[in-house]
Copies of this chain bind each other. A is one copy, B any other.
Amino acid sequence: MSNSSGKTFRTTSFGTSHGKAIGAIVDGCPANLDLNEEDIQKELDKRKPGTSKITSPRKEADKIEILSGLFNGKTDGTPICGVVYNKNQVSKDYEGIKNTPRPGHGDLGWIEKYGNYNYNGGGRGSGRVSIGHVIGGAIAKKLLQETYNIKVISHVVQIGNIKTSSTDINEIEEKVQLNDVRCCDKEAGKAMEKLILEKKAEGDSVGGIVETIAVNVPAGIGEPVFGKLDGDISKALMEIGSVKGVEIGLGFDVATASASEINDEFYYKKDKILTKTNNSGGILGGISNGMPIVTRIAVKPTPSISKNQNTIDLSKGEDCIINIEGRHDPCICPRITTVSESTIAMVLADHMIRSGFIHPNDLDKMKK
């Protein structure tokens, strides 16, 4: 099984929902980055459930402990192992699914492929596994911010049929905190919250779209054939649980457009080369062009619902009905924003090092 992501800035994740611990080793972060547990904790806190009525009521403390990789408050170039010890996981909820794979979940695939499936809490198929992504992402974010002031920000742009109005890119970071949905549009945010609570009441769930934007990424990262920046971003985003579609820039709207309408024209602003529009979402020919990198993901409704569903009973070899107990998110989009930010930050950190922008071993060598 492959549990590593990235080539040079490389995150290797481990752990299951209800095991002893969940965490990640982040390898390839250069030395002399100021880093402490709080830098990671604040990202984990954004990801964790139980913080509002529209997320799962599960209380997960998710306290990070860094076991290695720091010396005198800074990274020292050695691998950073971050661990969250699991606590109070309630495994009894899951005994029922041992033989009855949940529709929309990967249970059956795990059973067939590995033959020894830790079904408790969905095991390593659980959304809790994204704690590893967030550990890697928090370090990547700090690295990007300290070296190039790069920021990676996610917000919810659609839940069900409710869409946001467009948002000024500079206001997202602030506005996203206005509501629990992490939507920058006040009116839409309210409607989204209402819809989510309705679905929750029905024992159902709803999908949505999350947009993630990275600003201040310099022109020149990404490799133009196999190794395109948008290729690596798409892979990373699609590997987040529940994601079924990825867009860069205009995304699927290019299908209905003519080139004369959407080609981003170049112009000089003093010595700097800019484009009049950013329909390409900051990436052309697989390489960043200095404009904001804009991505969107389609997030499916959380498959765990309490409504009756048809499935099979593997122990009996016959069809059956289940309804899934437990405390699940009626819409995962708000919490997935943090994972999406993490994911993109890891890809960017990896490419920034590999393209010669960030020193691979020692940040202090960049100051000379």
Determine if B76 and A114 form an interchain contact, defined as CB atoms under 8 angstroms apart: yes
Determine if A266 and B1 form an interchain contact, defined as CB atoms under 8 angstroms apart: no
B interface footprint on A115-136 (CB within 8 Å = 1, 0 otherwise): 1111000011100010010000
Complex alpha-carbon distance, A66 and B22, angstroms: 12
Determine if A109 and B224 form an interchain contact, defined as CB atoms under 8 angstroms apart: yes
Complex alpha-carbon distance, A311 and B74, angstroms: 28
From A9-17, A51-59, A170-178, A181-189, the one touching the partner chain is A9-17
B interface footprint on A296-319 (CB within 8 Å = 1, 0 otherwise): 001111111101011110000111
Determine if A109 and B219 form an interchain contact, defined as CB atoms under 8 angstroms apart: yes
In chain A, residues 243-273, which have Cβ atoms closer than 8 Å to a Cβ of chain B? 244-260, 262-268, 271, 273
Determine if B310 and A260 form an interchain contact, defined as CB atoms under 8 angstroms apart: no
Chain B residues with CB under 8 A of A30: 114
Determine if A361 and B356 form an interchain contact, defined as CB atoms under 8 angstroms apart: yes
Q: Does A342 contact B (CB under 8 A)?
A: no
Q: Does A158 contact B (CB under 8 A)?
A: yes
Determine if A263 and B116 form an interchain contact, defined as CB atoms under 8 angstroms apart: no
Determine if B118 and A319 form an interchain contact, defined as CB atoms under 8 angstroms apart: no
Within 8 Å by CB of A286, from B83, B228, B239, B266, lies B239
Within 8 Å by CB of A112, from B158, B161, B220, B254, lies B220
Within 8 Å by CB of A299, from B112, B248, B254, lies B254
Determine if B255 and A299 form an interchain contact, defined as CB atoms under 8 angstroms apart: yes
Chain B residues with CB under 8 A of A230: 238-239, 244
Complex alpha-carbon distance, A15 and B80, angstroms: 8
Determine if B259 and A251 form an interchain contact, defined as CB atoms under 8 angstroms apart: no
Give the copy number: 4
Indicate whether A81 sits within 8 Å of B14 (C-beta atoms), given known contacts A263-B103, A302-B259: yes
From A40-48, A138-146, A147-155, A277-285, the one touching the partner chain is A277-285
Determine if A109 and B287 form an interchain contact, defined as CB atoms under 8 angstroms apart: yes
Indicate whether A103 sits within 8 Å of B264 (C-beta atoms), given known contacts A289-B109, A301-B257: yes
Determine if B259 and A254 form an interchain contact, defined as CB atoms under 8 angstroms apart: no
Q: Does A2 contact B (CB under 8 A)?
A: yes
The total of chain A residues at the interface (CB under 8 A) is: 154
Determine if A161 and B256 form an interchain contact, defined as CB atoms under 8 angstroms apart: yes
Within 8 Å by CB of A79, from B12, B113, B219, lies B12
Determine if A226 and B68 form an interchain contact, defined as CB atoms under 8 angstroms apart: no
What are 24 A-B pairs with beta-carbon distances under 8 A?
A1-B224, A2-B227, A3-B225, A5-B226, A14-B27, A14-B69, A16-B68, A16-B78, A23-B81, A71-B118, A76-B123, A76-B124, A78-B124, A106-B284, A106-B287, A125-B285, A204-B259, A209-B255, A244-B247, A253-B298, A260-B309, A266-B310, A266-B311, A266-B319
B interface footprint on A346-364 (CB within 8 Å = 1, 0 otherwise): 0000000011100111101
Q: Does A32 contact B (CB under 8 A)?
A: yes
Shortest Cβ-Cβ A-B pairs, 6 listed: A106-B285, A2-B227, A109-B287, A235-B235, A77-B114, A104-B263
Nearest chain B CB to A220 CB, angstrom units: 5
Please, which residue of chain B has its CB at the minimum distance from the CB of A250? B244
Please, which residue of chain B has its CB at the minimum distance from the CB of A304? B259
Nearest chain B CB to A293 CB, angstrom units: 13
Q: Does A19 contact B (CB under 8 A)?
A: yes
